[in-house]
Amino acid sequence: MDREVSTPLMQQYREIKSKHHDAILLFRMGDFYEMFFDDAVTASRLLGLTLTSRNNGGASEVPLAGVPVKAVSQYLRRLVEHGHRVAICEQVEDPKAAKGIVRREVVETVTPGAVFEDDLLDGARDNFLASVAIHERVVGISAADVSTGRFRLVIVGLGDAPSALGRLAPREILVATGAGAELRALLPPGVLVTERADWEFDPALARDALAEQFAIAGLAGLGLGDGDAVAVGAGGALLRYLRELQPSGLAQLARPSVERAGAVVPLDDMTRRNLELVESLRGGMDGTLVGVLDRTLTPMGARCLRHWLLAPLVERAPIEARLATVAALVDDTLARGALRTALDGVRDIERLAGKTAAGRAAPRELRALGDSLARLPAVAAALAPISSCGVLASIVSAWDAADDICGAITKTLVERPPLTIGDGETIAPGVDTELDSLRALRDGGKDAIASLQMEERTRTGISSLKVGYNRVFGYYIEVTRAHDARIPADYQRRQTLAGAERYVTPALKEFEERILTATERCELLERERFEALRARTAREITRLQAIATHLAALDALASLAEVAAHERYCRPELTDGVELVIEGGRHPVVERMMPRDQFIPNDVTLTPDGRLIVLTGPNMAGKSTILRQIGLIVLMAQAGSFVPATRATIGICDRIFTRVGASDNLVRGQSTFMVEMAETSAILHTATTRSLVLLDEIGRGTATWDGLSIAWAVSEHLHDVIGCKTVFATHYHELTQLANELDGVRNYSVAVREVGEKILFLHRLQPGGASRSYGIDVGRLAGLPPAVITRARALLRLLERGDLAAALAGQSPRPPSSEQLPLFTAAPHPAVERLRAIDADATTPMAALQLLAELTALVRDDAVQP
């Protein structure tokens, strides 16, 4: 050890720090948490603290930065927000009682994935810490939210792992140090990744750890079998890590819920973002589906709804159960109103219970838990008229009014207890007689002295007798010398003054003892009482979590019903077929951004013999809107929501894919076009007959012919090989030719009306393809200068006549610097290219026929000739 830091304190620091080298160590010293060395440098930079130094008796100085204990939470929040782990080291013995240096221990480590503080949590979302392992292309994800105690185990194939991780949106992910590239590729960018030793993921060790945590004999009780080893291993590593972070225990952790592949519709990152489910493309919740559907009244309801939307179901029965409940709540306005009134004011029972179980709930929080439970009877009463509908049947039959827990809390605590114990009264009067009399003594101290003085005057007959107090002797009775003879035997002399004597009596000593310690003892008793109540409530964590889960579901269902009623949604009819029929469909978010009834509803039908729609129309006509609205309607239906349509029949989809626009993924260092192709490839590899594929402008990121050929081939593959429901929005109106070639392709376009030079967007879907692109019209609408518009129209006419040479040479001073134009001149016509590629000897008569069709198609609809 360096000589200059060898004081006993620094030795203690070093010893503790060596066990927490990957965390910033907050080292408690009296009223401050101090940070030393690199921690001090980092923290002073991030938190704007002054960096000072401490001389430890040697030559060099130790960098030092400190934060006051009282203000620690805001500093903690900022450190954690910056992705740091923070270990909190407390003095674990009373400094007065300590021999030598005060004993210190790390009592908790806060990381982005493991926080309790309200200001570090978002009420509307879970705060998961996940652990991921992989074995033979099966991925096990274990995720826990220490603030709620929710614990999930997810077992999925490698391909669906990103979607599962995306849905859980963990703040921190654990991986084994030896994890390979396959697993590392799954980790979302920007998330704190914590490496743990490989052995911690060992399934056999994990099995024991899980069994011990949940006090069960084997994992079969959790619904886990031998095949789930990878998830069990991940779960074990997670538990071990959490125990390290929270040495005081994990009483709040609920038994894990197990989710397997196929239970929910895997939504890839692209689809989740494009459909703007919980976050808009611009960021934030405005303009998202959850923004429209979330009228929940409690944070747990909001989290539940969010989870439902990110995990639409695939099995029909549970979807129907949710829909039946929403239907009942839509129809019975009174029940809905009563339920929502009862839920209003219910606080985050799940997190309050989690805090209680972890021994962290403050008096005010425990009271809030009790007050929330007090609303349960009103919730039950609201449900009575519809108690047999959908999921309500099982909720009502398992109903736990928790009046014992609620009663204990509301009777024991005052109505508005303080945030911290000792900052005011916590325990209600009448709970503890000793506490009540101590309080009376503390508060009535002066009265008690006055009456004691009166009693002693009467007893001794000395009318000048006084009860007084000083710091050295405490309480005393003062009598002037003149009355010496009348002093009773039980008076003990303590102090002699010039003209008077001071005495104490056993009764006065006892009184003194009581009054002087009353405040302290009140506080102690209050703390004892409070902690007993908290511990008692903590033992009911399983019940409280079940109650929270029920209330969350009720709140989410009532929210869906409220929106359905207000926005005139309909109950979708779900089938096990593959059809999709939407009448009068609307985009739930776009319609909300315009005045009521301004949104133009549209019908869409996808059936096996019309399974691929080519959707054309000018920019701004509403193609993307229709595309997304189809995806959203299916997703909402499978999440158990009513849908914005007049009628909808939906064959349940196993997967929903969207590829919209050219989105950048520069974070991962791939070009836009590469990403687009990778995503398209993923769709072609995983879609099934029961999938819904929504494509917007595939192949736009490359040269025209390239793009068109890719779009064409992709459509053929989706149509012929996969046979899924597909809507393909494109500005390549050439693609409308597909309908002539393939049985299951239908052309639709979004109607526009041309009024003279102008175009009017009707936003109405109509059969048939668009005949031109209207790009120039949109350019004009967007305010391109009239001269540019006129010139563009002239060029377009030339190009359409195939007169590119004229366009470039004769009438344009120099060639436009567009990327694509040179290709028109340089590249041979695709038909020519196709012809060149033919190996005539190896072409069968069948293939020749197909080729002919392909060639005619290529030639027929070409606006631009080489």
Q: Between helices 672-686 and 704-717, what is the axis angle to 10°? A: 10
Burial state string for 584-621 with b = 16 or more CB within 10 A and e = fewer than 16:
ebbbbbbbbeeeeeebbbbebebeeeebbbbbbbbbbb
Which of 486, 482, 481, 498 shows the shortest CA–CA distance to 456?
A: 486
Tell which phi-psi region holds residue 142, choosing left (phi > 0), alpha (psi between -120 and 50) or beta. beta
Strand positions, DSSP E, 428-473: 466-470
Which of 104, 623, 655, 719 is the binder for ligand ADP (CB under 6 A)? 623
Distance, in Å, from the CA atom of 430 to the CA atom of 435, rounded to the nearest integer, reads 9
Min dist. Cβ of residue 773 to ligand ADP (A): 11
DSSP string, 20-79: TTTSEEEEEETTEEEEEHHHHHHHHHHH-PPPEEEE-SSSSEEEEEEEEGGGHHHHHHHH
Q: Which is nearer to ligand ADP, 301 or 617 (CB)?
A: 617
Are the C-beta atoms of 402 and 376 separated by less than 8 Å?
Answer: yes
Min dist. Cβ of residue 711 to ligand ADP (A): 16
Which of these ranges, 227-235, 415-423, 617-625, 842-850, lies near ligand ADP under the rule CB under 6 A? 617-625
Q: Which is nearer to ligand ADP, 341 or 605 (CB)?
A: 605
CB-side exposure of 441: number of CA atoms within 13 Å?
A: 20
Q: Which is nearer to ligand ADP, 325 or 625 (CB)?
A: 625
Min dist. Cβ of residue 618 to ligand ADP (A): 7
Name which of residues 186 to 245 contact ligand ADP (CB under 6 A): none
Q: Which is nearer to ligand ADP, 604 or 637 (CB)?
A: 604
Q: Which is nearer to ligand ADP, 150 or 731 (CB)?
A: 731
Min dist. Cβ of residue 274 to ligand ADP (A): 12
- Six-digit token pair at 447? 């009265």
Q: Which is nearer to ligand ADP, 549 or 602 (CB)?
A: 602
Give yes or no for residue 619 binding ligand ADP (CB under 6 A).
yes
End-to-end alpha-carbon separation of the chain, Å? 79
Which of these ranges, 28-36, 306-314, 344-352, 623-631, lies near ligand ADP under the rule CB under 6 A? 623-631
Which of 730, 687, 690 shows the shortest CA–CA distance to 710?
A: 730
Min dist. Cβ of residue 623 to ligand ADP (A): 3
Give yes or no for residue 672 binding ligand ADP (CB under 6 A).
no
Name which of residues 83 to 112 contact ligand ADP (CB under 6 A): none
Which of 86, 335, 389, 620 is the binder for ligand ADP (CB under 6 A)? 620
Q: Which is nearer to ligand ADP, 172 or 676 (CB)?
A: 676
Tell which phi-psi region holds residue 796, choosing left (phi > 0), alpha (psi between -120 and 50) or beta. alpha
Min dist. Cβ of residue 208 to ligand ADP (A): 55
User: Which residue is at the shortest CB distance from ligand ADP?
Assistant: 622
Evaluated on CA atoms 154, 156, 162, 166, the torsion sign reads negative
591-595's contacts with Cβ under 8 Å and 24+ in sequence apart are 591/567, 591/644, 592/292, 592/567, 593/287
Query: Which distant-in-sequence residues (6+ apart) come within 8 Å of 187 by Cβ?
Result: 132, 165, 173, 175, 193
Query: Which distant-in-sequence residues (6+ apart) come within 8 Å of 431 by Cβ?
Result: 411, 412, 529
Min dist. Cβ of residue 622 to ligand ADP (A): 3
Min dist. Cβ of residue 604 to ligand ADP (A): 12
Q: Which is nearer to ligand ADP, 387 or 619 (CB)?
A: 619
Query: Which distant-in-sequence residues (6+ apart) come within 8 Å of 190 by Cβ?
Result: 667
Q: Which is nearer to ligand ADP, 622 or 769 (CB)?
A: 622
Min dist. Cβ of residue 620 to ligand ADP (A): 5
Min dist. Cβ of residue 387 to ligand ADP (A): 40
Q: How many CB atoms lie within 10 A of CB 400?
A: 16
Distance, in Å, from the CA atom of 678 to the CA atom of 701, rounded to the nearest integer, reads 13
Q: Which is nearer to ligand ADP, 401 or 600 (CB)?
A: 600
Which of 194, 213, 624, 726 is the binder for ligand ADP (CB under 6 A)? 624
Question: CA separation (Å) from 796 to 703, 769, 821?
Answer: 18, 20, 12
Min dist. Cβ of residue 560 to ligand ADP (A): 23
Which of 173, 300, 438, 621 is the binder for ligand ADP (CB under 6 A)? 621
Are the C-beta atoms of 35 and 68 separated by less than 8 Å?
Answer: no
Name which of residues 745 to 804 contact ligand ADP (CB under 6 A): 763
Q: Which is nearer to ligand ADP, 166 or 618 (CB)?
A: 618
Give yes or no for residue 733 binding ligand ADP (CB under 6 A).
no
Are the C-beta atoms of 553 and 304 separated by less than 8 Å?
Answer: yes
CA dihedral of 510, 513, 518, 524, whole degrees rounded to 10 = -110
Min dist. Cβ of residue 22 to ligand ADP (A): 47
Which of 622, 644, 707, 830 is the binder for ligand ADP (CB under 6 A)? 622
Min dist. Cβ of residue 624 to ligand ADP (A): 3
Which value, in Å, is the radius of gyration of the alpha carbons in the chain?
Answer: 37
Q: Which is nearer to ligand ADP, 121 or 750 (CB)?
A: 750
Q: Which is nearer to ligand ADP, 281 or 713 (CB)?
A: 281
Query: Which distant-in-sequence residues (6+ apart) come within 8 Å of 218 by Cβ?
Result: 207, 211
Give yes or no for residue 582 binding ligand ADP (CB under 6 A).
no
How many residues touch ligand ADP under the rule CB under 6 A: the total is: 13
Min dist. Cβ of residue 781 to ligand ADP (A): 11
Min dist. Cβ of residue 601 to ligand ADP (A): 7
Query: Which distant-in-sequence residues (6+ apart) come within 8 Å of 444 by Cβ?
Result: none
From the number of C-beta atoms within 10 Å of its C-beta (0-12, 13-18, 19+), residue 484 rates as: exposed
Q: Which is nearer to ligand ADP, 237 or 633 (CB)?
A: 633
Min dist. Cβ of residue 765 to ligand ADP (A): 8
Q: Which is nearer to ligand ADP, 377 or 584 (CB)?
A: 584
x/- track of binding to ligand ADP for residues 382-421 (CB under 6 A): ----------------------------------------
Name which of residues 68 to 87 contact ligand ADP (CB under 6 A): none
- Six-digit token pair at 740? 């002539």
Min dist. Cβ of residue 269 to ligand ADP (A): 21
Min dist. Cβ of residue 616 to ligand ADP (A): 9
Query: Which distant-in-sequence residues (6+ apart) come within 8 Å of 145 by Cβ?
Result: 126, 127, 128, 129, 151
Give yes or no for residue 625 binding ligand ADP (CB under 6 A).
yes
Q: Which is nearer to ligand ADP, 600 or 864 (CB)?
A: 600
- Six-digit token pair at 261? 């592949």
Run of H or E including 175: strand 172-176
CA dihedral of 650, 656, 662, 666, whole degrees rounded to 10 = 160
Q: Which is nearer to ligand ADP, 203 or 617 (CB)?
A: 617
Q: Which is nearer to ligand ADP, 153 or 751 (CB)?
A: 751
Which of these ranges, 43-51, 286-294, 525-533, 616-624, lies near ligand ADP under the rule CB under 6 A? 616-624
Name which of residues 596 to 615 contact ligand ADP (CB under 6 A): 599-600, 602
Amino acid at 407: G
Query: Under the rule (CB under 6 A), what is the footprint of ligand ADP?
Result: 590, 599-600, 602, 617, 619-625, 763
